Amino acid sequence: MGKIVKLDKLIIERIAAGEVVERPASVVKELIENSIDAEASTIRVELSDAGLKKIRVIDNGVGMDKDDAVKALERYTTSKIKSLEDLYCIKTLGFRGEALASIAAVSRLEIVTRTQNSEIGTRVVAEGGVIKIVEPIGAPIGTTVTVYDLFFNAPARLKFLKSRTVELSHSVDIVTKYALIFPDISFELSNDGTQLISSPQADNILEKIVHIYGTEIARNMIQIDVVSDNLHLYGYVSKPSVTRSTKKAMHVYVNKRFVISNLFHNAILDGYRSMFFRGRYPICVLNLEIDPNEIDVNVHPTKLEVKFKDENKVFHFISEAIREALLSEELEPEVDVERIAEIETSPQTGIQPTQANITRSEQPPVPISSQITPSKPLVQTTLEKTILSIEEISRLTQQYKIPWNIVGQVAKLFIIAYDDENMYIIDQHAAHERILYEKLLSEYESGEIKKQTLLEPILVSFPIREALILKDNLDMLNKLGFEIAPFGEDSFVIRAVPVIMKKVDNMNDLKEFLDELLELEGVKRRKIPSVHEIFALMACKAAIKDNDVLDADMMANLIKEMHSVPKDPYHCPHGRPTILAIPLKKLRRLFKRTA
């Protein structure tokens, strides 16, 4: 007897459901797309227990009659396509006819729906993919789909879900993505009765950006609206000064379908070429309108991937459109100030952060040691290099008892030193980062991280997804020398920071630190980043920066403290080298010197 057998219907349905329904957010995505395709102008998402107990999506779309409501729960049934040719000219978000059947297979599902032409609605109840009830019911025009007890019949799937906060943040992310690109649709999201997103209908994408990211980000967005050869790119990109450390805020769409596309992302970054540091990414909301015949969205059941028929054409169009917009002064967005003020003060969006009266000092950074005396005049000090006199080199070596002779600072980035055997090039930022990291570890292991109370508390706000994750991390942060407390649904008040981060004491710097901490959490896909990761980020933010001009004593103290680092002074916490040693013998050979 052969070994190959035909799988039964139940196993086939479970496998298919696993491709479409990965987590509660997958259900939210599929149901929202159905609502959009049904021409809804209002979509409300209600979750219980981050969607594990209940997911309800309510819309005011065209609704379904009884026959369609029943047929919608069968696999491979859809109103979106009817022929093979339609598959290559898709104009809707849904088309595969799998979503509702896949969701029903792993949940207890209820559909209540009514069309405009019907006086009475229809209620359909299914459990594990089997229809149990079909009955008439009074209902408003539109459709309400309720999913109870997701994965009740596939408990192994529950083991692979993350914490409730992480799962909820994924649903927040889905609603955010569609709220941004469909300004004419009102979106709401709540969990356990607490409203998380309220994004009313708006006139344009920029107003939606205000709803999600706030006024300050919206003021730093540049409009894109370019048409060429049947391609239309429109939306907004941030100025090069406004970036993030991951691609999470790069919202890209093809024919208003949110997609994950390396080509699209790389084209955007190419448009920004040389405008910001490597490893930084812009905030953007961009939609590419393209002939459906020129793309293939039937790549994966989740419909998140897309293939372009002419990739080079699309890449260069996107890149050049963004490049021209960034270089143009005329594309500065005009924001309706009155409209923004109305949005910012509405109860749904929380409170607007206030500016603290603390600003970054315009002076060079304070010395690493507070016991440093002013240095003697230098031979030469410019914006690019600081070269020390022979007398100054001798003084520093004796005063700080360091084994190296310091030559000076080059390019406001490197310190040059030497001894009898080597010439040393020290990366000032990486070296200081390592010193601060070791100090933080030492304080943490001793049981107390020294903290400094801010002159004035600082209020910072985040998009709701990031706010949820930050709340999950507050206990950890407060143990590490911060004093941070919630202040409403999406805002936090900061009253103290670790002493080592005393230079990072204004709203912009602290907001940037917390932004990067949240992005770190997202990249690592853990509930809470490790202590070492947080210390590495704290040290990076507090360390001497590139382009900081150092005087002689600051350079000497940095080298002295480097020699006191107990573990691996040769690398920063992120693994980059802090010191390069070049043997003088090798230099002599390179210059053909035999003596």
Each residue's pLDDT tens digit, 283-302: 999 999 999 888 887 665 55
Helices 464-479/507-524 angle, 10° precision: 100
Name which of 470, 550, 459, 566 is nearest 506 in CA terms: 459
CB atoms within 10 A of CB 435: 25
Our CA angle for 327, 207, 242, nearest 5°, is 40
3-state secondary structure string across 264-317:
HHHHHHHHCCCCCCCCCEECEEEEEECCHHHEECCCCCCCCCCEECCHHHHHHH
Cβ-in-10-Å burial (0-12, 13-18, 19+) of 130 comes to exposed
Contact 237, 275 (CB under 8 A): no
> What's the confidence (pLDDT) of residue 346?
42
Our CA angle for 215, 219, 224, nearest 5°, is 125
Rounded to 5 degrees, φ, ψ at 167 are -65, -40
The pLDDT tens digits of the residues spanning 487-496 come to 888 889 999 8
Coil, helix or strand for 474?
A: helix
Residue 323 is encoded by which pair of tokens?
A: 């490049």
Rounded to whole angstroms, the Cα distance separating 224 from 251 reads: 14
> What's the confidence (pLDDT) of residue 498?
87
Cβ-in-10-Å burial (0-12, 13-18, 19+) of 97 comes to middle
Rounded to whole angstroms, the Cα distance separating 182 from 57 reads: 17
| Type of residue found at 205 | I
Name which of 73, 52, 254 is nearest 161 in CA terms: 52
Residue 63 is encoded by which pair of tokens?
A: 């609704």
Cβ-in-10-Å burial (0-12, 13-18, 19+) of 282 comes to buried
Contact 389, 378 (CB under 8 A): yes
Q: How far separated are the first and last CA of the chain, in Å rounded?
A: 85
Coil, helix or strand for 363?
A: coil
Rounded to 5 degrees, φ, ψ at 65 are -85, 180
Helices 164-181/205-213 angle, 10° precision: 160
> What's the confidence (pLDDT) of residue 515?
77
Contact 112, 123 (CB under 8 A): yes
DSSP string, 37-90: HTT-SEEEEEEEGGGTSEEEEEE-S----HHHHHHTTSTT--SS--STGGGGS-
Q: For each of the chain's 595 residues, which pLDDT tens digit applies?
A: 666 656 566 655 555 554 568 899 999 999 999 999 999 999 999 999 999 999 999 999 999 999 999 999 987 666 655 555 555 566 667 555 678 989 999 999 999 999 999 999 999 999 999 999 999 999 999 999 999 999 999 888 888 898 898 899 999 999 999 999 999 999 999 999 999 999 999 999 999 999 888 898 999 999 999 999 899 999 999 998 888 888 889 999 999 999 988 899 999 998 987 677 677 899 999 999 999 888 887 665 555 678 899 999 999 999 999 989 988 844 333 444 344 444 444 434 332 333 332 222 333 333 333 333 333 334 444 445 567 777 878 888 888 888 888 888 988 889 999 888 889 999 999 999 999 988 888 888 888 888 888 888 888 888 888 888 888 888 888 888 889 999 888 889 999 888 888 776 666 777 777 777 777 655 444 444 577 778 888 888 888 888 888 888 888 989 999 888 887 788 888 778 888 888 888 888 888 876 5
As beta bridge partners, residue 286 has: 235, 252
The domains found in the chain, sorted by start residue, are: 9-195 (3.30.565.10), 205-336 (3.30.230.10), 376-595 (3.30.1540.20)
Cβ-proximal residues to 403 (8 Å cutoff; 6+ apart), any chain? 419, 563
> What's the confidence (pLDDT) of residue 435?
92
Kindly state the helix (H) or strand (E) to which residue 520 belongs, with its residue range.
helix 507-524
pTM of the predicted model over 0.85: no
Name which of 176, 259, 188, 148 is nearest 40 in CA terms: 188
Q: What is the dihedral of CA 320, 325, 328, 329, to 10 degrees?
A: -170
Q: Output Rg (C-alpha) for the chain, integer angstroms.
A: 29
Coil, helix or strand for 94?
A: coil
Rounded to whole angstroms, the Cα distance separating 113 from 118 reads: 10
| Type of residue found at 217 | I
